Structure 1
Amino acid sequence: AETSGTFLSENFSADLIATHSEITHSAVTLFSVRHGRVVGSRSWILDRADVLEGESVIAAMISKIYSELDAPSEILVDEIPEDAEVIENWLTEKAGHRVSVAQPLRGDKLEVINTVKRNANQALIQYLSKRSNDSAVSGRALEEIANLLDLPELPLRIECFDISNIQGKHMVASMVVFEDGQIKKSDYRRFAIDDEAGFDDTRAMHHVLTRRLKRYLAERNVDNSEVSDLGGARPKFAYPPQLIVVDGGAPQVAAAARALAELGISDISICGLAKRLEEVWLPESKEPIIFPRHSEGLYLLQRIRDEAHRFAITFHRSKRSKVMLESLLDDIPKLGESRRTALLEKYGSVTAIRKASASDIAMIPGIGSNIAELIVTHLQSEAQTQGHINMETGEIT
């Protein structure tokens, strides 16, 4: 567990409790501080379905912890429960001395409670990571998704699509795949989208789904055994998903449904997961599907959507970085198209080429030592004028 390096007075003794919650579970971490030193720490995982409606996680855990442990005079928490006065009275009566429950808002105590909260976060991440590989848990989540979305079969293969751009520029899309509720990175795909097409997110979603599903239609009848006998690789898009998830609400779902309809595909289900309220949308539905409060199915859909977003953002950053390098190389004299192409293929980003020496650059066919020195000199002068821009991401720092 991470412990706080904050100096606390030798007169300070208290228990510090903090929580971190996701849809299905919460982690609660306790630090016991006596005479200014952390003398013990412990974490609990709580299934949120076991928490009473209207009861906070911190209130539920205080009751659990101090039914087993003796309460000190002071308990510090990361959030005050609504029934704090009732809890204080119960603790005081049980302990035989006055017990206060408070939330630190500044100073050393706040720093320590933030450390406790980070430990709770790590405890929950570790638990959920192990749990995500549990086939029984994944099976229950898939059954719940199938039931609530009225799917004809379990969605054993789910593909999720996400669009990433900044003000319509450098647009990219990602496709991530989960099979049997588990990540299948070997089937992930990225789609570059031409900025000249002028797509917004909705039209881009239609475009990408059309590309992916056209590939499926072209490859679905390929004989994999024949391809294998000939030493070839299996087609990348030959397997259809039972469920396509798009990042977005009703407009994105409608665009995806239109792509399937135009290709004559009727045996693949679609839903959208909107970020704002985590609503699940179906085609032609006027109202979203409401999953239970701490649903395993909703948690799985969130994991899939968040993974698609992460994968799209990673691709988007690399594309922006390459575009920035292309722009920078255009300004360097004596660099024709073939030389720029060779540099782009070798380095791919401004950051990478700036780390290269002139001798390294000179080894690229067609460059030579004189042009390499010219490139290095130009990059150094450019760095002085662009010193406050992150050349990896394009962000102002």
Structure 2
Amino acid sequence: GVVEFLSGEVRPIQRQLEAQMQEAARDERFEDAARYRNRLFAVQHLVERQAVERQSVGTVDVIGFAAEGDRAVVQIFPLRGGKMVDRHSFHLENVGGQDVTTILESFGLEYYGNAPSVPPQIIVPRDAGDLSALAELLSERRGARVEVRTAERGEKRRLQALADENAQHALVHAQAQSDQRRARRVEALEELREALNLESLPIRIECYDISHAMGQDPVGSMVVFQDAAPKKSDYRKFAIKSAGDDPDDFAAMAEVISRRFARANDPTGDPAWTTIPNLVVIDGGKGQLSAALEAMQAYDLPRVAVIALAKRIEEVFVPGRPDPIVLSRHNPGLQLLQRIRDEAHRFALGFHRQRREARGFSSLFDELEGVGPARRRALLQHFGSVEKMVEATQEELEGVPGVPAKTARRIYAQLHKAGRA
């Protein structure tokens, strides 16, 4: 109802009240009918009053703000000709320690820097502080004066208070959703702790996967989940060095695990290496699990739980148990393990594709005359993959910065002569 009132579209509300009034009258609930009638009159009176008041509002953006802890919400009510044409809500993270002025100034620069237009007036909360610098910059952006100010009375003040209230509601709702997600993550960790008989919650989980194509370009991935959520800053990838002619997933897994825990006392102090996980998840079965355990024994590590998750029917292999643990597919702990495993697979596969494409570029360029390192980089940056370069027209090759037209024509001719395109 709030949005309808603000935008002037109150006819649906009026129709609803009329229907409720008529239904109450038919049922001889006369007190209810009178109450609905009074509400209908009140709505009509409010609409008429607002129509008069908003004639003076004009074109303006009204901004509401609410913050708590590291979170903040900015609400924008854009009014054009006194009528609200839209409503925008923006959730800001990691703003703890910043004052309202700093947050709104930074937000305003980014929002209006990308907006198609800037209104002549912006109404901000009473505690917004000095935003004259923002007004000056937005005036330059608009090419005419932009007034950024508070409203002390009248319709603009009422709208700004309502924008603040909406921002507060949005903030509370976002916090409630965050709390629900947090509760679900804790539930998943509790389920894992119980199912795997762990001493404590697996706050930090590391998962490892190996990816290759028929033994070509083997790579490994390490993904990290902290408090049951991805911690991408700690992700690491490994180009397998011990690969021979025959693919050996067990040896590749042992190499990745060995290289990871050899850096547990990393002299640089990189927390991705020095933070020891509570749980290590190996993508695979008994063979991969045994390879990982053997590799870890070479290092003086505190007690770390290690399991393997097999893809076939999501069996969980645990050291010392002859039979795997089979969890219900509805178990939050298993669902968390699946998310982690799938993320490790995605990360490894992406790195494998990069390596394969880089190798494809290298072998292809070896066949091309007049293409040195600088032009290789230019072509790689421009097309992004071997396939796209091979599919390029002569005109597209001639348009690559740093590659002369004569060289581009020669590359095109050589590619087609080689039967690649």
TM-score by length of 2: 0.52
In the TM superposition, what whole-angstrom CA distance separates every residue of 1:220-268 from its partner, at most 9, and x where no partner exists? 8x3xxxxxxxxxxx55422221111010111111111111111122422
CA distance in 2, matches of 1:259, 1:341: 38
* Preserved CA contact (<8 Å) 1:132 1:182: no
Q: Kindly tell me: are residues 370 and 309 of structure 1, through their superposed partners in 2, closer, same or farther at Cα, counting changes over 3 Å?
A: same
In the other structure, the counterpart of 1:212 is 260
* Preserved CA contact (<8 Å) 2:329 2:335: no
In the TM superposition, what whole-angstrom CA distance separates every residue of 1:241-299 from its partner, at most 9, and x where no partner exists? 11110101111111111111111224221110001121101124321123245311111
Q: Kindly tell me: are residues 347 and 273 of structure 1, through their superposed partners in 2, closer, same or farther at Cα, counting changes over 3 Å?
A: same
Q: Secondary structure in 2 aligned to 1:264?
A: coil
* Preserved CA contact (<8 Å) 1:325 1:348: no
CA distance in 2, matches of 1:351, 1:219: 41
CA distance in 2, matches of 1:301, 1:338: 44
Which amino acid is 1:309 matched to? Answer: H
Q: Does 1:350 align with 2:386?
A: yes
Q: How does 1:290-305 map to 2 (within 5 A)?
A: 290-292=326-328, 294-305=330-341
In the other structure, the counterpart of 1:318 is 354
In the other structure, the counterpart of 2:113 is none
Q: How does 1:229-244 map to 2 (within 5 A)?
A: 235-244=271-280
Shift in Å, 1:346: 6.3
Which amino acid is 1:178 matched to? Answer: F
In the TM superposition, what whole-angstrom CA distance separates every residue of 1:291-336 from its partner, at most 9, and x where no partner exists? 2453111111111111111222222222222222222111112345
Shift in Å, 1:378: 2.3
Shift in Å, 1:360: 4.1
CA distance in 1, matches of 2:314, 2:243: 32
Higher mean alpha-carbon deviation, 336-345 vs 158-167, is at 336-345
Greater helix proportion: 2
CA distance in 2, matches of 1:326, 1:197: 20
Which amino acid is 1:192 matched to? Answer: A
Q: Secondary structure in 2 aligned to 1:190?
A: strand
Shift in Å, 1:381: 4.2
Q: How does 1:1-397 map to 2 (within 5 A)?
A: 134-194=181-241, 196-198=243-245, 199-219=247-267, 222=269, 235-292=271-328, 294-336=330-372, 340=376, 343-344=379-380, 348-354=384-390, 355=392, 357-361=396-400, 363-364=401-402, 368-382=404-418, 385-386=419-420
Q: Kindly tell me: are residues 293 and 321 of structure 1, through their superposed partners in 2, closer, same or farther at Cα, counting changes over 3 Å?
A: closer
Q: Kindly tell me: are residues 143 and 235 of structure 1, through their superposed partners in 2, closer, same or farther at Cα, counting changes over 3 Å?
A: closer
Q: Secondary structure in 2 aligned to 1:216?
A: coil
Q: Kindly tell me: are residues 377 and 262 of structure 1, through their superposed partners in 2, closer, same or farther at Cα, counting changes over 3 Å?
A: same
* Preserved CA contact (<8 Å) 1:161 1:175: yes
**Larger Rg belongs to:** 2
CA distance in 2, matches of 1:219, 1:278: 38
Higher mean alpha-carbon deviation, 310-319 vs 295-304, is at 310-319
Q: Secondary structure in 2 aligned to 1:322?
A: helix
In the TM superposition, what whole-angstrom CA distance separates every residue of 1:80-131 from its partner, at most 9, and x where no partner exists? xxxxxxxxxxxxxxxxxxxxxxxxxxxxxxxxxxxxxxxxxxxxxxxxxx89
Which amino acid is 2:314 matched to? Answer: E
The runs of 5 or more residues in structure 2 that have no matched partner are 1-176
* Preserved CA contact (<8 Å) 2:208 2:220: yes
Q: Kindly tell me: are residues 293 and 369 of structure 1, through their superposed partners in 2, closer, same or farther at Cα, counting changes over 3 Å?
A: closer
* Preserved CA contact (<8 Å) 1:260 1:266: no
Shift in Å, 1:347: 5.1
Which amino acid is 1:144 matched to? Answer: E
Shift in Å, 1:379: 3.0
CA RMSD after TM alignment: 2.8
In the other structure, the counterpart of 1:110 is none
CA distance in 1, matches of 2:360, 2:314: 35
Question: Between Structure 1 and Structure 2, how many residues are aligned?
Answer: 241
Shift in Å, 1:138: 1.1
Which amino acid is 2:279 matched to? Answer: L
In the other structure, the counterpart of 1:100 is none
In the TM superposition, what whole-angstrom CA distance separates every residue of 1:168-216 from its partner, at most 9, and x where no partner exists? 1111111111111112222222212247545511110110111111222
CA distance in 2, matches of 1:277, 1:180: 26
- Runs of 4+ in structure 1 off by over 6 angstroms are 130-133
Q: Secondary structure in 2 aligned to 1:265?
A: coil
Shift in Å, 1:219: 4.4
The runs of 5 or more residues in structure 1 that have no matched partner are 1-129, 223-233, 388-397
Q: Secondary structure in 2 aligned to 1:134?
A: helix
Which amino acid is 1:152 matched to? Answer: E
Shift in Å, 1:165: 1.0
Q: Secondary structure in 2 aligned to 1:215?
A: coil
